[in-house]
Structure 1
Amino acid sequence: MADAEQDDEDYVVEMEGIEKRFGEVVALEDVTLRLRRNEVLAIAGDNGAGKSTLIKCLAGAHRPDAGVIRIDGETVDIDSPRKAKRLGIETTFQDLAVAGNLTVTQNVFLGREEVQGPNTLLGVLDKGAMRERAGELLDDLKINVDVDEKVANLSGGERQLVSISRTLLSDPEIVIMDEPTSALSVEGADRVLELIDRMQDQGISIVLISHNLDHVRRAADRVHVLHQGRSAGVLDGEGVDRDDIVTRMVAGMPESGYGERAANV
């Protein structure tokens, strides 16, 4: 299958020539990733391929040693997660950062609590406003959970939905999702995949990392394959051949040989 990338596309994210080393270990070498506006772009690769390192460069958790990142065509320096958020980038990581002893509302607003009064440091928490906003957010996403329920009482899939919904509180333009269906039941994974569809319908551009290639093929418009820290091709998601993804994950670019970077990626 031919690589699926054109130079005249409307890209919300462009990462070009990204390199990252940890001591003597080369995690990323000359990787270029482009995310189209309002698409789901999956990143596939074996363990150690560089998937997490690449998205952490976009999320502000790592600074690349070389390369350029552009958001909406503007070159940016994403030197922290806070900077990423200011640029409209939110991330939900594989390890769920939810507090089981708190309610759904409290989890949605954790670290972003709304207060009454002009002084945000000394003001009283506006519990009513947060509860109403959480309810509206979950309703918009068609997430059917009680905003007053303790998260500890929810299923794994419901907890993941709450975690994802929290990233949408700031109306981000871009959401990075790291293994959102990992360790979920079939039903829980289906609900998360349906939520990804609804997020895309709302105009959000999504970077999806998943080891589950069935989920990748179902959710993604395109699949960017990494092999040993290098790009191994960008494939159309619709009708993508599973064996083609696996071959590139294991051996790199079939056309240009072991370890070669995909042209026009």
Structure 2
Amino acid sequence: MNANQTQGAAAAAPIPRIALSGIKKRFGSVEAIRGVDLALYPGECVGLVGDNAAGKSTLTKIISGTYVPDEGTISINGEPVRFATPADARKHHIEMVYQDLSLCDTIDVAGNLYLGREPMNGIFLDRKAMRDGARAMLERLEIKIPNLDALVAQLSGGQRQSIAIARAAAFDPQVLIMDEPTSALAVKEVEAVLDLINRVKAKGVTVVLITHRLQDLFNVCDRITVMYEGLKVAERKIADTDLTDLVSLIVGKGHGMGGHA
């Protein structure tokens, strides 16, 4: 390849939707994140895995604006940004579905989908607009919940997870982060949530998935990033890894970080 071809190839390289460079985060004397680089592209799902205290949740909370990094830079579509709050991240179309889902059990399905942004008719809630909008949100993602007036407390775990994802997806995110979305779900509910992740990804959304259910990664992810004690120690295309490889990396045996017996 000559110099002109090299320059052309470099010019054609895609720009990450979001890029982290040299991210560090400390809590007192604890270095939770120790200089992480990460690039995320449109329409892909990246699995973020690691043992407890590896730094996964801290890193995603930096991406979603909950934590401010002590060092490093964040870029959106090639432009540097700084998030001081989750609202700053949302302005850049970054949403996070937390493990606790942040749903209100005593409110119905439509109310949860519109929580904090309810349509009003004068001084009253516009219930019809909420039901119609909720139905459209769920249909767009092919989520089947027959009774939108049902209290969330009455729904299954998979339905609750689907509502949390649908609420985040309703903000038209470019990046959607999900923390353990299939934990404590029955097999059929896990399959439904994974199908939903694939549908969101197919719409061009960048998905970041944290999970301890490593088998789920092979159903939805394009790449897997492995963290160990605050460092990104490996990155694999899904076709280039398997469960044995991932487990070895997670416990520290596959990247020269010491590991455990």
After TM superposition, the score normalised by the length of structure 1 is: 0.89
Secondary structure of 1:17's aligned partner = strand
Aligned: 1:141 with 2:141: yes
Any conservation in 1 of the 2:24–2:72 contact (CA below 8 Å)?
yes
Distance 1:224 1:78 in 2: 23
Match of 1:205 in 2: 206
Any conservation in 2 of the 1:226–1:252 contact (CA below 8 Å)?
no
Any conservation in 1 of the 2:245–2:254 contact (CA below 8 Å)?
no
Match of 2:151 in 1: 150
Match of 2:79 in 1: 74
TM superposition shift of 1:124: 2.4
Distance 1:163 1:239 in 2: 32
Secondary structure of 1:251's aligned partner = coil
Rate the CA distance shift 1:252–1:15 in 2: closer, same or farther, 3 A. farther
Q: Which amino acid aligns with 1:50?
A: G
Secondary structure of 1:54's aligned partner = helix
Q: Deviations over 1:110-160 (max 9, x none)?
A: 11111135xxxxx32221111101101101111110212211111011111
Q: Deviations over 1:170-220 (max 9, x none)?
A: 111111101100111111111100000110111111111001100112211
Rate the CA distance shift 1:218–1:239 in 2: closer, same or farther, 3 A. farther
Secondary structure of 2:34's aligned partner = strand
Q: Segments of 4+ in structure 1 off by > 2 A?
A: 6-10
Distance 2:129 2:211 in 1: 35
Structure 2 residue corresponding to 1:41, chosen from 24, 37, 46? 46
Any conservation in 1 of the 2:180–2:210 contact (CA below 8 Å)?
yes
Q: Which amino acid aligns with 2:115?
A: L
Distance 2:240 2:150 in 1: 40
Higher helix share: 2
After TM superposition, the score normalised by the length of structure 2 is: 0.91
Distance 1:238 1:182 in 2: 24
Rate the CA distance shift 1:162–1:178 in 2: closer, same or farther, 3 A. same
Secondary structure of 2:46's aligned partner = strand
Aligned: 1:181 with 2:182: yes
Q: How many residues align?
A: 247
